[in-house]
Amino acid sequence: MTSDVPYFTNSEHGYVPAKLAQRNSSAGQPLRLLRFVVNHVIPDTVKFIVQLVPLIVGGLIGLVLPAKRKSVHGQTALVTGGANGLGRALCLRLAREGCHVAVVDIDMAGAQQTAADVRKLGVKAEAFLADIANFEAVERLRLDVETKLGPVDVLVNNAGLLAVLSLTEGKPTDVERIINVNLLSHFWTIRAFMPGMITRNRGHIVGIASIAAYFPVGRFIPYTVTKYAVRALMESLNGELHMDGLQNAVQTTCVYPALIATRQQFVDMLDKLNFLKRFYVFTPEQVAEQIVQGVLVNKREVFVPNILALFCKQFECLPASLRHLLLSCTIRTFIEGMKERQRGYILGVSSILGFLAVPRVVSYVATKFAVRGMMQALQHELAIDGFGETIVATTLYPTFIASRKELMDLLNDLSLDEKLTVLTPEAVADEAIEGMLRGYPNVYVAPFFIRLSLYLISFLPHSMSKLLIETVMGKMPSLMERSQKIC
């Protein structure tokens, strides 16, 4: 069953611009500021502190007592990209936990070999040929798996394409294929299998991202974009399940592995780049072990190695210039000309939701995380190519912009217009142009308390960061619910 997508689109009367004339005047600013502090800052701070105490106590208890493990024995796991590499290792490791395994891949010979090896461990296994980048194919896959193995309880979105590809290299179809396999396939499989998990009140969804979701790297821009988006997808999905009261029914785990020794060609490339002398490369079996252990204790995030969790959170707080030093399709059309002329400006419009993975707008958040990842990877690529000073890549992160009247009416109705400081398009444009001309890598058009929250969220534990988001965003869930009724 399908329904129209709830865009803020042109109505039968055409585009109706929002009016915020009162915000263009400086009159009454001190009074509005005082009202904002009294009505929002003080009560929200008190609420946050009160709710923070049990989370701290629970965290301290978790340091002493081991996490409770669950059993997946007798359940059915589906692993995409299960013919080789990490996917194969995951199939075998899940089988050792007693899972029946659906091995999905376009490499049917490899999938059949993996399935045969899984059956030797005393569980059922079948190989399935499917192009998971196609939604209709995924729907057929669901029916086929349920017929042969039963409903899927553990979904592992592992399939992915790793390409050494700059933004201006390769054919457009190459970029489309990477995005379809690495990102859209997650949407299609989750849409196909999660409803059954909710109905049965049991399920676990695993998304394989990458360390590139925190460390954007030049020369891998399409790949980096998809991994940022997978990170946002899994975080938003987790929040949406909590909002719907399904956090105990369907669990999510997002995985951020470092280098994995999968294909020999990849290892040879790492060797030529001297990576093997500087970084430890994990075997697929080592990574699979940590992933399954994380699933069994319902970990929301799994970093391989674990120490990367600390580095990743702190890395995003560093200035852009230091990130470049440590890291040592419209843009495609113009960037080569900019390089030839030794000058140019590229402005990418993300959103404050490129940092805050909120529920109810999972697809939107994923795209804004992807824009953020693309621009950061592009900044790094320009820097290593020697164009960091002559071609400026700026990412814009605005909060709500008073564009359409329908959106403003909704914000006013929920009393969010004051709390979230809705901006005029002109004000955002001024900030964007000013930041771009000054060569800023990032322009945050948001109140100070939201920018401070972004900094805190970057290294707080998930439970605390989730509480902080809920405190700052207030009635955001109501906004998302109501916005679905507006076209």
> Mean pLDDT in the chain?
76
Q: pLDDT category, 116, cuts 50, 70, 90?
A: very high
Lowest mean pLDDT among 293-302, 338-347, 402-411: 402-411
Q: Is the pLDDT assigned to residue 479 strictly greater than 50?
A: no
Q: Is 444 a catalytic residue?
A: no
Pairing state between β 344-349 and 391-398: parallel
Phi, psi at residue 251, to the nearest 5°?
-100, 155
Give the active site residue among 223, 228, 256, 444: 223
- The pTM score is 0.68
Q: pLDDT category, 477, cuts 50, 70, 90?
A: very low
Rounded CA separation 188/195 (Å)? 12
Q: What is the pLDDT of residues 345-369, one digit of tens each?
A: 787 777 777 766 666 666 677 777 7
Domain 160-484 has CATH 3.40.50: yes
395 in Cβ contact with 355 (< 8 Å)? no
Q: Which residue has the higher pLDDT, 288 or 270?
A: 288
Q: Is 223 a catalytic residue?
A: yes
Q: Which residue has the higher pLDDT, 73 or 269?
A: 73
**Candidate ranges 41-45, 170-174, 456-460; pick with highest mean pLDDT:** 170-174
Question: What contacts 280, CB < 8 A, 6 or more positions away?
Answer: 258, 259, 305
Q: pLDDT category, 184, cuts 50, 70, 90?
A: very high
Tell me what pLDDT residue 124 has.
96
Average pLDDT, stretch 363-378?
75
The rounded Cα 132 to chain-centroid distance in angstroms is: 19
Q: pLDDT category, 23, cuts 50, 70, 90?
A: very low
Q: What is the pLDDT of residues 147-167, one digit of tens each?
A: 999 999 999 999 988 777 776
Q: Is the pLDDT assigned to residue 381 strictly greater than 70?
A: yes
Lowest mean pLDDT among 18-22, 202-206, 404-408, 414-418: 18-22
- Exposed e or buried b per residue across 235-263, where buried means at least 16 C-beta atoms within 10 angstroms of its C-beta: bbbbbbbbbeebeeebbbbbbbbbbbbbe
Q: Which two tokens stand for residue 66?
A: 């081991």
Pairing state between β 125-129 and 442-445: unpaired
Could you tell me which residues are beta bridge partners of residue 12? none
Average pLDDT, stretch 30-44?
67
Q: Is the pLDDT assigned to residue 170 strictly greater than 70?
A: yes
Q: Is the pLDDT assigned to residue 192 strictly greater than 70?
A: yes
Spans of all domains in the chain:
160-484
Q: Which two tokens stand for residue 169?
A: 């290299």
The number of beta carbons lying within 10 Å of the beta carbon of residue 174 is: 14
Phi, psi at residue 11, to the nearest 5°?
-85, -175
DSSP structural state of residue 414:
T
For tokens 């939604």, name the residue: 135
Average pLDDT, stretch 380-391?
75
Tell me what pLDDT residue 171 has.
85
Give the active site residue among 227, 368, 419, 466: 227
